[in-house]
Amino acid sequence: MSDPGDDADAPEIAEETMAGFRRTARGVSARFTAGQAGILRSLVAQVAELVGGPGSAQAPPAESQQEPAGADGLPMDLAAILATDGPLAPPEDPVLARLLPDAYGDDPESAGEFRRYTEPGLRSGKVAAAQTVLATLPAAGGRVRLSTGDAEAWLRSLNDVRLALGVVLGITEDYEREFASTEPGDPREAYLHVYDFLTFLQETLVRALR
């Protein structure tokens, strides 16, 4: 993800236009400026490629949307799970380690076995959620209308981006106080605004879905 110390590339969020998500007759809706859309798409794409590798931010070909059956008659995704040889240890990258945490913090052996069978699916799920955001959020901004399923994918992707950015910025649970006390010229200031924007979007989306 982008380095918060690089002021030249610091993102800017127009707070006065942060209307957030609201419920409509056809699902949930929000409006984004071009700048907001560009920042969000960039962060979502970076997380997708971090989790799934280069090219993961691109939508898969239409013909691959439905998984074909494997040679044993099982769906390919289920066959892959049963035959998986996934990793046993958490990722060394601190952002990935936050996105793909151990299930059993006090039992490394059980955590490794659980990770072996679940991490490939977790990664593909995170990439799919990111692709949904990128497919439904125009690069030029504008009105976004989401079905319940797409909105739930947005929630997962927004959470992943917040977690990743939180690791990069060293954000703690008390980030609101830290954000309020940021000194002028702090290289993290613009990114803290982005983190706050992501939190706002996630909260309004949760409320809209309720």
Calculate the alpha carbon distances from 66 to 61, 62, 128 in Å.
10, 8, 13
Per-domain boundaries in the chain: 24-56+69-209
Quote the CA–CA distance of 125 and 152 in Å, as a whole number: 12
Which of 36-45, 60-69, 171-180, 186-195 holds the top average pLDDT? 36-45
142-146/27-32 β-pairing: antiparallel
Quote the CA–CA distance of 203 and 182 in Å, as a whole number: 23
In the chain, the percentage of residues whose pLDDT exceeds 70 is 76
The residue-averaged pLDDT of 140-163 equals: 96
Name the E strands within 119-196. Answer: 142-146
Higher pLDDT, 26 or 43: 43
Q: What is the pLDDT of residue 75?
A: 43
The residue-averaged pLDDT of 47-70 equals: 69
pLDDT in tens, 114-151: 778 888 888 999 999 999 999 999 999 999 999 999 99
pLDDT score of 66 more than 50: no
- For the chain, what is the mean pLDDT? 80
Contact 33, 17 (CB under 8 A): yes
Higher pLDDT, 196 or 66: 196
Q: What is the pLDDT of residue 69?
A: 41
Of 54, 57, 77, the residue nearest 127 (C-alpha): 57
pLDDT score of 68 more than 80: no
pLDDT score of 20 more than 60: yes
The residue-averaged pLDDT of 168-188 equals: 76
Q: What is the pLDDT of residue 185?
A: 77
The residue-averaged pLDDT of 70-78 equals: 43
The residue-averaged pLDDT of 2-18 equals: 57
